[in-house]
């Protein structure tokens, strides 16, 4: 099973989600750890950055992630979407965390 690495406040952000969204994203992370894809995902940014997508009665939630070689799942950012398009501040934060991760 692959290890999970949390960047920045991504874990705390996920914990703040409603229980149902937290459970769905947790299930998606479990699937990634076992080498499977989440049930609902799509490419988010170039460079193998993907987003896991969850919708419940409280809103729309996302977890941006990347796979590092074969041994880790990197959770970059967990956030709530408020519009159809991903907010620039969320995309900027994802790019910043990826850059810090690659340089660190």
Provide block-wise average pLDDT over 10 residues at a time, the chain (104 residues). 96 97 97 95 92 93 87 95 92 96 88
Q: How far apart (Å, rounded) are the C-alpha atoms in residues 100 and 33?
A: 23
Q: What pLDDT score does 69 carry?
A: 66
Sign of dihedral through CA atoms 47, 40, 60, 80?
Answer: negative
pLDDT of residue 25: 97
Instruction: Enumerate the H helices of 16-55 as residue ranges.
Output: 19-33
Dihedral class, residue 22 (left if φ above 0, else alpha if ψ from -120 to 50, else beta): alpha
Structural domain containing residue 14 = 3-103
Q: Which letter, b or e, does each residue of 45-70 get, where b requires 16 or more Cβ atoms within 10 Å of its Cβ?
A: beeebbbbbbeeeeeebbbbbbeeee
Report the CATH number that the domain containing residue 45 is assigned in CATH: 3.30.2310.20
pLDDT of 18 reads: 96
Q: What is the pTM of this model?
A: 0.92
Predicted pLDDT at 84: 85
Q: Could you give the CA distance from residue 48 to residue 34 in angstroms, rounded to a whole number?
A: 18
> In total, how many domains does the chain have?
1
């Amino acid at each position: 099973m692959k290890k999970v690495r949390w960047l920045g406040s991504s874990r705390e952000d996920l914990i703040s989600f409603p229980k149902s969204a937290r459970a769905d994203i947790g299930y998606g992370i479990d699937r990634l750890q076992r080498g499977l894809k989440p049930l609902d995902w799509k490419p988010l940014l170039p460079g193998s950055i993907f987003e896991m997508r969850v919708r419940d009665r409280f809103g729309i939630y996302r977890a941006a992630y990347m796979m590092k070689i074969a041994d880790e799942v990197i959770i970059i950012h967990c956030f709530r979407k408020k519009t159809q398009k991903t907010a620039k501040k969320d995309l900027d934060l994802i790019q910043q965390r990826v850059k810090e991760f690659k340089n660190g």
